[in-house]
Structure 1
Amino acid sequence: MKIDNREVFKTLNPNKVWVPVLIGIAIVLLMFYMDPTVNVQTLRGVFDASAWSLLLAVLFIFLRDAGYVFRIREVTDKHLTWGRAIFVIVLWEFASAVTPSIVGGTAVAVFILNKEGIPLGKALAFTMLTAILDNLFFVLGAPIILFFAKGFIFPDSRVLEMRLGNSLEYLFWVSYSLYTLYSTLMALALFYRPRVFKWLLLKLFSIRWLKKWKYQANTYGDQIIQASKEFRGKNLKYWLVIIGATVFIWCSRYFMLNALISAYAGISFFEHVVIFARQIIMWIVMMISPTPGSSGTAEFFFAQFFNEFLTGYTFVTSILWRMFSYYPYLLLGAIFLPRWIRQVFFRKKDRPAS
Structure 2
Amino acid sequence: MPIALGLAIVFYLFYSDPNITSDTLKLIFDAKLSSVIVAFLVLFARDAGYVYRVKTISDGELNWSRSIVIIILWEFASAVTPSVVGGTAVVVFVFMAEGINVGKSLAYVMLTAILDNLFFVIAAPIVMLLTQGMIFPDVQAMDLELGTSLQLLFFLSYGLIAVYTLVMSYALFVRPRAFKWFLLKVTGFRFFKKWREKANQYGDEIIMASNGLKGKAVSYWVKISAATTFIWVARYLMLNSLVEAYSNLSVPEHMVVFSRQVIMWIVMLVSPTPGSSGTAEYFFNQFFYEYLGDYTFVSSIFWRLMSYYPYLILGAIFLPRWVKSRFFNKGK
Residues 87-98 of structure 1 mapped to structure 2, 5 A cutoff: 87-98=69-80
Aligned to 2:127: 145
SS of aligned partner of 1:263: helix
Aligned to 1:68: 50
1:101 aligns with 2:83: yes
Residues 1-354 of structure 1 mapped to structure 2, 5 A cutoff: 15=5, 22-27=12-17, 29-30=18-19, 40=23, 43-158=25-140, 163-349=145-331
- Please tell me whether the aligned partners of residues 243 and 292 of structure 2 are also in contact (alpha carbons under 8 angstroms): yes
- Matches of 1:156 and 1:21, distance apart in 2: 35
- Matches of 2:289 and 2:223, distance apart in 1: 37
- Matches of 1:150 and 1:286, distance apart in 2: 23
- Matches of 2:207 and 2:327, distance apart in 1: 30
Letter in 2 for 1:71: R
Deviation (angstroms), 1:285: 2.7
Segment of structure 1 superposing worse, 287-296 or 161-170: 161-170
- Matches of 1:228 and 1:101, distance apart in 2: 24
- Matches of 1:321 and 1:314, distance apart in 2: 10
- Please tell me whether the aligned partners of residues 153 and 274 of structure 1 are also in contact (alpha carbons under 8 angstroms): yes
TM-score, structure 1 as length reference: 0.88
Deviation (angstroms), 1:162: 5.9
Say what the alpha-carbon RMSD is for the aligned residues.
2.1
Deviation (angstroms), 1:286: 2.1
Letter in 2 for 1:293: G
- Matches of 1:307 and 1:43, distance apart in 2: 17
- Please tell me whether the aligned partners of residues 24 and 295 of structure 1 are also in contact (alpha carbons under 8 angstroms): no
Deviation (angstroms), 1:320: 0.7
Deviation (angstroms), 1:187: 0.5
- Please tell me whether the aligned partners of residues 140 and 147 of structure 2 are also in contact (alpha carbons under 8 angstroms): no
Letter in 1 for 2:69: F
- Matches of 1:190 and 1:238, distance apart in 2: 16
- Matches of 1:180 and 1:258, distance apart in 2: 26
Segment of structure 1 superposing worse, 83-92 or 152-161: 152-161
- Matches of 1:178 and 1:100, distance apart in 2: 16
Deviation (angstroms), 1:247: 0.3
- Please tell me whether the aligned partners of residues 82 and 271 of structure 2 are also in contact (alpha carbons under 8 angstroms): yes
Letter in 2 for 1:26: S
Are the structure 2 counterparts of residues 14 and 235 from structure 1 closer, same or farther at C-alpha, using a change threshold of 3 Å? farther
The total of aligned residue pairs comes to 331
- Please tell me whether the aligned partners of residues 72 and 315 of structure 2 are also in contact (alpha carbons under 8 angstroms): yes
- Matches of 1:200 and 1:74, distance apart in 2: 32
State the identity as a percent.
54
Deviation (angstroms), 1:264: 1.2
- Please tell me whether the aligned partners of residues 92 and 109 of structure 2 are also in contact (alpha carbons under 8 angstroms): yes
User: Which stretches in structure 1 are left out of the alignment for 5+ residues?
Assistant: 1-11, 33-38
- Please tell me whether the aligned partners of residues 20 and 98 of structure 1 are also in contact (alpha carbons under 8 angstroms): no
SS of aligned partner of 2:317: helix
- Matches of 2:141 and 2:74, distance apart in 1: 34
Segment of structure 1 superposing worse, 43-52 or 91-100: 43-52
Q: Deviations over 1:14-72 (max 9, x none)?
A: 84665565444434x2476xxxxxx83x6433222111110110011101111111000
- Please tell me whether the aligned partners of residues 139 and 147 of structure 2 are also in contact (alpha carbons under 8 angstroms): no
Are the structure 2 counterparts of residues 260 and 296 from structure 1 closer, same or farther at C-alpha, using a change threshold of 3 Å? same
